């Protein structure tokens, strides 16, 4: 415990300030140098004509060696300082690289997003709140808001419900382990990959021609008409949501299942002896017991649905009224080159997730994760 | 009578689970079967559910006619570098959060966690404009850093939890034997946490492997595209109606993660559970 060894009173104010400055330098300087060094290496590699394999090998050595060398130099410098100072600076030497990358790539861009959202096309003239007014009045945008709400409510709800159901039931069968690994399997597939697979399953050909999509094959075999699953509104959004549910149910199930396993068996036995039916046990013992895990899982998936993009983009490109916020943002940016509107949309997504993040952080605080 | 009730219940449970398994596995199965099927029979009606008219032609074609290997190589390069960067930064930061207490610890911890939940589409535009200025677009380096942002918070947070489980007496024993702080971390603690490091490696690799948005936005030149973008382009482009090719490229892209999932699943599950149940 280093902090006990160090009594605050041993340092005078000047020394404290110096330590503060040094901390900042250590935390920022080392990773920045690492960045520059790495970048130089990459440029060199990019421009050289050596065989690909050699470049890759050199790059790996370069990357690992560069970061390690900088770290060791920093470590050595700290050793040269007085012991008290060294002890205070060390934590920052360790955190430095992570925090610098996150600051450089995350916090600065966020502020820039906010700034850009008040400018027009090509970020040239200041337009005030015009972009925000557009975002809240444009028809396509309103569809996107509505769809995102569907994604949020039904995507999250179905993932958690089905995941919970499977977790509860799998607990009672002999082949539990295999069943759980199989349900988990779709998570290995990327959103785009899943989108493509399901596009094939949903595929539609006009009536009278050969139906290659499996769902339409089934629907015609049963005597129905082929359905253009991806173009009927607003049903198509739900067919897209089904893909998310397919991908993420396994995640919800695995975590909920682990939480269910932690319910003390004495509690369950006592309830059974008292004659409680399984239903009551689930609703009055298991679910209250795993409440915090349920919240964590729900919020994780909820955050995922707020930024859903890949599925929509790969399946319908946002056509037929399947637009969501993220796909609108992408279009504003790359199709219409309107960075202002795009930024305004991203700020709105940010504002939408803030309460969820805030709530989650408070939960973590309560559970003393820190 | 009671026996009978139990039996009925068991049948109900079994059937629900079987249906769930069927729904979960069928699309994957269908993708694989279709990718090995001759083109004309993919389009036949009624579709046959069992493998039939098996051929490797689709695979040979996507390997020779499309840029599959280029996309594959790009994905591997970016994913490997992301994993290296994340493991180094994540282990150092996680160790620091676990071992040192100081004024800013909670604040920094909170920041890391909030980034874990941060919607990255929110920074896409400024990231893109910054990248253009720094000439980082169309480079593996830029994409690697972009992938690092969204994978690093999980690694830091996750490894911190594992460092917490290792008693400090091990650190102290290391110091007594003359190890430096860094030596203790690398020689004593990380070897003890091999499963956690494996879990972080898989998750980071997977997230980088599956990324579509960043690669689509930042690397617009064909020679820097990764697999998901490649898949999307195949399915939109000239082979758009060629389901044999599309299924083959999707199958080929999923092989690596799928193998990882099958053989390393216990690490991943313990990782996810650690993150969510414990906090």
Locate the chain A residue with the closest alpha carbon to B40. A212
- Could you tell me which residues come within 8 angstroms of residue A111 by beta carbon, excluding any fewer than 6 positions away? none
Mean pLDDT on A12-21: 73
Inter-residue contact A162 to A245 (CB < 8 Å): yes
Q: Is A55 part of a structural domain of the chain?
A: yes
Q: Do A349 and B122 touch (CB under 8 A)?
A: yes
Mutate to test the interface with A, among B10, B119, B127 (most CBs of A within 10 A): B119
Q: Are residues A88 and A136 in the same domain?
A: no
| B196-218 residues labelled b (16+ CB within 10 A) or e (exposed) | bbbbbbbbbbbbbbbbbbbbbbb
Query: What tokens does A87 get?
Result: 């002890």
- Domain containing A22 equals 2-116
Helix then strand then coil, % of chain A, to nearest 5: 80, 0, 20
Q: How many residues does chain A have?
A: 370
Task: Give yes or no: residues A234 and A320 share one domain.
Answer: yes
**Bridge partners, residue A126, by sequence:** A119
SS3 B54: strand
Residue of A21, A197, A33, A226 lying closest to B29 (CA atoms): A197
Q: What is the pLDDT along chain B (279 residues), one digit of tens a residue?
A: 445 666 777 788 888 888 888 888 888 888 888 778 777 676 666 666 677 777 777 777 777 777 888 888 888 888 888 898 888 888 888 888 887 776 677 777 777 777 776 777 767 777 787 777 767 778 788 888 888 877 888 888 788 878 887 888 888 888 888 877 778 887 788 888 887 888 888 888 888 888 888 888 888 888 888 888 888 877 777 666 777 778 888 888 888 888 887 787 777 777 666 655 543
CB contact under 8 A, A258 and B277: yes
Tell me the β-bridge partners of B37: B54
Question: How many Å apart are CA A180 and CA A170, to the nearest integer?
Answer: 7
| Residue A317 pLDDT exceeds 70 | yes
Mean pLDDT over residues A2-11, rounded?
Answer: 48
Are A333 and A224 within one domain?
Answer: yes
**What's the average model confidence in pLDDT over A65-79?**
65
Residues A308, A348, single domain; the answer is: yes
**% residues pLDDT > 90 (chain A):** 1
A359 vs A96, residue with greater confidence: A359
Cβ atoms within 10 Å of B7's Cβ, excluding its own: 10
A322, two tokens: 């399947």
Nearest-5° angle of CA B109, CA B111, CA B112?
65
**Does B232 contact A at CB distance below 8 Å?**
yes
Per-window interface: A 14-53 vs B, CB < 8 A: 38-39, 42, 46, 52
Diameter over CA atoms, chain B: 77
Q: What is the rounded CA–CA span in Å between residue B59 and residue B50?
A: 19
- Whether A119 has its CB under 8 Å from any CB of chain B: the answer is no
Mutate to test the interface with B, among A192, A323, A356 (most CBs of B within 10 A): A192
Q: Tell me if B217 and A334 make a contact (CB, 8 A cut-off).
A: yes
Is cis: bond before A192, omega within 30 of 0?
Answer: no
Q: Nearest-CA residue of chain A relative to B248? A: A197
pLDDT at A5: 42
A174 and A75 in one domain?
no
Could you tell me how many residues make up chain B?
279
pLDDT at A8: 46
* CATH number of the domain bearing residue A160: 1.10.3720.10
Among the candidates A116, A147, A163, a domain finishes at A116
Burial-class residue B180 by CB neighbours within 10 Å (0-12, 13-18, 19+): middle
Residue B160: name the closest of B274, B53, B20 by CA.
Answer: B274
Judged by CB atoms closer than 8 Å, whether chains meet at B25 and A38 is answered as no
In terms of Cα–Cα distance, which of A183, A279, A247, A280 is closest to B17? A183
Question: What residues of chain A, 320 to 349, have a C-beta less than 8 Å from chain B?
Answer: 325-326, 329-330, 333-334, 339, 342-343, 346-347, 349
The whole-number pLDDT of residue A37 equals 62
Mean pLDDT of all residues in A150-177: 85
Total domains in chain A come to: 2
- What is the C-alpha separation between B232 and B237, in angstroms, rounded? 8
CATH number of B59-278: 1.10.3720.10
Contact indicator for B183, B235 with CB cutoff of 8 Å: no
Please give the interface size between A and B, counted as residue pairs whose CB atoms are below 8 Å apart: 322
Radius of gyration of chain A (CA): 27
Q: Measured between CB atoms, does B27 come within 8 Å of chain A?
A: yes
pLDDT at A91 over 70: no
Can you tell me the distance from the alpha carbon of A258 to that of A168, in angstroms, rounded to the nearest whole number?
A: 10
Nearest-CA neighbor of B67 among B209, B239, B195? B239
Question: Do A338 and A195 fall into the same domain?
Answer: yes
Query: Chain B residue closest to A211 (CA)?
Result: B45
pLDDT of residue A2: 43
Cβ neighbours of A46 (radius 10 Å): 13
CA dihedral B164, B170, B171, B176 (to 10 degrees): 170
**At residue A6, does pLDDT exceed 60?**
no
Read off the DSSP letter of residue B37: B
Please enumerate, as own/partner, the contacts of A244-247 that have beta carbons within 8 Å and a separation of 24 or more.
A244/A151, A244/A155, A244/A159, A244/A304, A244/A305, A244/A308, A244/A311, A245/A155, A245/A158, A245/A159, A245/A162, A246/A186, A246/A194, A246/A198, A246/B23, A246/B24, A246/B27, A247/A186, A247/A187, A247/A189, A247/A191, A247/A194
Closest CA to B26 of A177, A218, A230: A218
Average pLDDT score over residue span A100-109 = 67
Residues A89 and A137 in one domain: no
Q: Could you tell me if A143 and A52 lie in one domain?
A: no
A28 within domain boundaries: yes
B139 contacts chain A (CB < 8 A): yes
pLDDT digits (tens, 9 = 90+) for A255-313: 888 888 878 888 888 888 887 777 788 887 888 888 877 887 888 888 888 878 888 87
Indicate whether A51 and A90 sit together in one domain: yes
Residue B92 near residue A98 (C-beta atoms within 8 A): yes
- Asked if residue A221 and residue A163 are part of one domain, the reply reads yes
With beta carbons under 8 A apart, name residues in chain B contacting A63.
Answer: 81, 84-85
Cβ–Cβ < 8 Å for A81, A89: yes
| Type and span of the H or E element at A355 | helix A339-366
SS (H, E, C) B178-247: CCCHHHHHHHHHHHHCHHHHHHHHHHHHHHHHHCCHHHHHHCCCHHHCCHHHHHHHHHHCCCCCCHHHHH
Please state, in angstroms and rounded to a whole number, the distance separating the CA atoms of residues A187 and A298. Answer: 17
Domain end (from A116, A141, A176): A116
The reported pLDDT for the residue numbered A1 is: 38
Which spans in A175-213 are helix H? 176-184, 191-202
Higher-scoring residue by pLDDT: B86, A83:
B86
Per residue in B8-25, pLDDT (tens digit) is 777 888 888 888 888 888
The answer to whether residue A121 sits within a structural domain is no
Q: Has residue A229 been placed in a domain?
A: yes
Mean pLDDT lowest among A151-165, A202-216, A289-303, B74-88: A202-216
Q: Note whether A136 and A66 are same-domain residues.
A: no
> Which of A70, A86, A106 to mutate against chain B (most B CBs within 10 Å)?
A106
B242 touches chain A (CB under 8 A): no
* Cβ atoms B158, B271 nearer than 8 A: yes
**Residue A7: what pLDDT?**
46
Write down the pLDDT at residue A45: 53
The pLDDT-based confidence of A3 (bands split at 50, 70, 90) is: very low
* The predicted structure's pLDDT at residue B12: 81
Q: Which two tokens stand for residue B228?
A: 């998901």
Task: Examine the fold and report which residue of A116, A149, A172 is the final residue of a domain before the chain moves on.
Answer: A116
Q: Break chain B into its structural domains and give their ranges.
A: 2-56, 59-278
- Is B124 part of the contact surface with chain A (CB cutoff 8 Å)? yes
Task: Check if B50 contacts A (Cβ < 8 Å).
Answer: no
Kindly state whether residues A101 and A170 are assigned to the same domain: no
State the pLDDT confidence band at A365, using cuts at 50, 70 and 90.
low
CB A78 within 8 A of CB A93: yes
Looking up tokens 């009927």, which residue turns up? Answer: A232
- pTM of structure: 0.74
Q: Give start and end residues of each alpha helix (H) in A233-286.
A: 235-261, 265-273, 278-281
Q: Per-residue pLDDT averaged across A13-30, rounded?
A: 70
**Looking at the domain assignment, is residue A48 inside a domain?**
yes
> Residue B257: closest CA among chain A residues belongs to which residue?
A188
Q: Is residue A125 part of a domain?
A: no
* 3-state secondary structure at position A119: strand
Cα nearest neighbour of A218 on chain B: B46
Closest CA to A32 of A77, A76, A66: A66
Phi/psi region, residue B255 (left: phi>0; alpha: psi -120 to 50; beta: rest), is: alpha
Residue A123's pLDDT is what? 66
What letters, b where the CB count within 10 A reaches 16 and e where it falls short, cover A117-146? bbbbeebeeebeeebbebbeeeeebebbbe
Which residues, 6+ apart, have CB-to-CB distance to B88 below 8 Å?
Answer: A64, A67, A68, A97
Rounded to a whole number of angstroms, the distance from the CA of B204 to the nearest CA of chain A is 12
CB contacts of A214 in chain B (<8 Å) are 30, 47
A residues 219..258 contacting B (CB < 8 A): 221, 246, 249-251, 254-255, 258
């Amino acid at each position: 415990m280093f902090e006990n060894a160090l009594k605050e009173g041993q340092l005078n104010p000047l020394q404290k300030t110096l330590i503060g400055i040094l901390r900042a330098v250590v935390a920022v300087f080392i990773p920045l140098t690492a960045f520059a060094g790495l970048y130089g290496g990459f440029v060199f590699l990019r421009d050289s004509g050596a065989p690909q394999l050699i470049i890759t090998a050199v790059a790996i050595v370069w990357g690992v060696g560069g970061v390690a060398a900088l770290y060791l130099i920093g470590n050595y410098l700290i050793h040269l300082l007085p012991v008290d100072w060294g002890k205070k600076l060390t934590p920052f030497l360790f955190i430095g690289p992570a925090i610098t990358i996150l600051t450089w790539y995350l916090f600065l861009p966020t502020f820039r997003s906010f700034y850009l959202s008040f400018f027009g096309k090509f970020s040239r003239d200041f337009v005030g709140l015009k972009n925000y007014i557009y975002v809240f009045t444009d028809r396509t945008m309103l569809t996107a808001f509505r769809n995102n709400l569907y994604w949020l409510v039904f995507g999250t709800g179905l993932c958690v419900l089905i995941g919970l159901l499977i977790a509860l039931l799998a607990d009672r069968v002999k082949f539990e382990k295999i069943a759980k690994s199989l349900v988990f399997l779709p998570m290995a597939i990327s959103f785009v990959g899943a989108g493509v697979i399901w596009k094939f399953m949903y595929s539609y050909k006009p009536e009278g021609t050969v139906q290659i999509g499996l769902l339409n094959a089934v629907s015609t075999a049963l005597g129905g008409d082929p359905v253009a699953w991806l173009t009927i509104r607003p049903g198509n959004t739900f067919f897209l949501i089904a893909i998310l549910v397919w991908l993420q149910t396994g995640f919800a199930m695995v975590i909920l299942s682990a939480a269910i396993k932690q319910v003390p068996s004495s509690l369950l036995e006592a309830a059974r002896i008292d004659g409680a039916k399984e239903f009551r046990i689930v609703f009055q013992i298991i679910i209250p017991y795993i409440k915090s895990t349920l919240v964590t899982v729900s919020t994780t998936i909820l955050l995922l649905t707020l930024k859903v993009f890949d599925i929509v983009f790969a399946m319908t490109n946002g056509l037929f009224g399947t637009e969501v916020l993220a796909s609108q943002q992408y279009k504003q940016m790359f199709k219409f080159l309107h960075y202002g509107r795009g930024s305004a949309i991203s700020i709105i997504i940010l504002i939408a997730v803030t309460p969820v993040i805030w709530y989650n952080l408070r939960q973590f605080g309560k559970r003393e994760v820190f | 009578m009671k026996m009978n009730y139990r039996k009925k219940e068991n049948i109900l449970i079994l059937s629900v689970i079987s249906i769930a398994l069927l729904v979960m596995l069928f699309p994957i199965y269908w993708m694989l079967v279709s990718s090995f099927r001759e083109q004309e029979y993919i389009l036949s009606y009624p579709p046959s559910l069992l493998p039939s008219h098996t051929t490797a032609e689709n695979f040979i074609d996507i390997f020779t006619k499309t840029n599959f290997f280029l996309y594959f190589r790009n994905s591997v390069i970016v994913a490997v570098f992301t994993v290296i960067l994340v493991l180094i930064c994540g282990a150092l930061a996680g160790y620091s959060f676990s071992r040192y207490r100081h004024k800013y610890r909670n604040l920094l911890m909170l920041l890391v966690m909030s980034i874990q939940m941060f919607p990255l589409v929110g920074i896409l535009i400024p990231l893109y404009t910054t990248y253009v200025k720094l000439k980082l677009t169309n480079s593996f380096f830029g994409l690697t850093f972009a992938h690092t942002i969204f994978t690093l918070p999980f690694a830091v947070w996750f490894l911190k939890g594992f460092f917490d489980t290792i008693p400090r007496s091990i650190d102290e024993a290391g110091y007594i034997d003359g190890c430096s702080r860094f030596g203790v971390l690398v020689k004593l603690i990380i070897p003890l946490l091999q499963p956690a490091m494996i879990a972080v490696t898989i998750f980071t690799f997977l997230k980088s492997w599956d990324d579509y948005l960043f690669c689509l936005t930042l690397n617009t030149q064909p020679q820097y595209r990764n697999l998901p973008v490649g898949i999307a382009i195949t399915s939109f482009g000239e082979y758009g109606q060629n389901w044999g090719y599309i299924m083959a490229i999707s199958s080929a892209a999923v092989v690596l993660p799928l193998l990882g999932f099958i053989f390393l699943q216990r690490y991943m599950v313990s990782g996810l559970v650690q993150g969510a149940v414990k906090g």
